[in-house]
Amino acid sequence: MNDKSVEIELADDSTPYEMRELCEMCAVRAELVVEMVEAGILEPSGSAPAGWRFGVRSIIRLRKAQRLRRDLDINLSGIALALDLLDDLDQMRERAQALERQLQQLTDEA
């Protein structure tokens, strides 16, 4: 299953997933999920691993983390940094697109 199909299947972000479900969907051990939470890669709701719940964003980040680890052999700290930078880049792209739309509207009105 590729990441795009996961995004489609998990389109409803209102449903939190338990640790077991996350591990099954992403084919990882619970110990790795705990390590990823400790490294700041994943941010579950709940106070302890047994009660953690994960949203769609966590599942997508876990999939990206798996690719970074597999393809580039990056450690967990590096993965956390890379994912945060990728998130920042996505936000900047969205902002740039919004500004381009606003500029286009202003030039159309002139």
pLDDT digits (tens, 9 = 90+) for 49-79: 999 999 999 999 999 999 999 999 999 999 9
Question: Inter-axis angle of helices 56-72 and 30-38, to 10 degrees?
Answer: 100
Confidence of residue 18 (pLDDT cuts 50, 70, 90): very high
* pLDDT at site 17: 94
Residue 53's domain spans which residues? 3-109
Question: Inter-axis angle of helices 56-72 and 76-109, to 10 degrees?
Answer: 120
Q: What is the CATH number of the domain that holds 47?
A: 1.10.1660.10
Domain count, the chain: 1
Instruction: Please answer whether residues 52 and 17 qualify as being in contact, where contact means their C-beta atoms are separated by less than 8 angstroms.
Output: no
Residue found under tokens 């449903």 = 15
Kindly report the pTM of this predicted structure.
Answer: 0.77
* pLDDT at site 101: 96
* pLDDT at site 65: 97
Query: Distance between CA 55 and CA 57 in Å, rounded?
Result: 5
Higher pLDDT, 76 or 11: 76
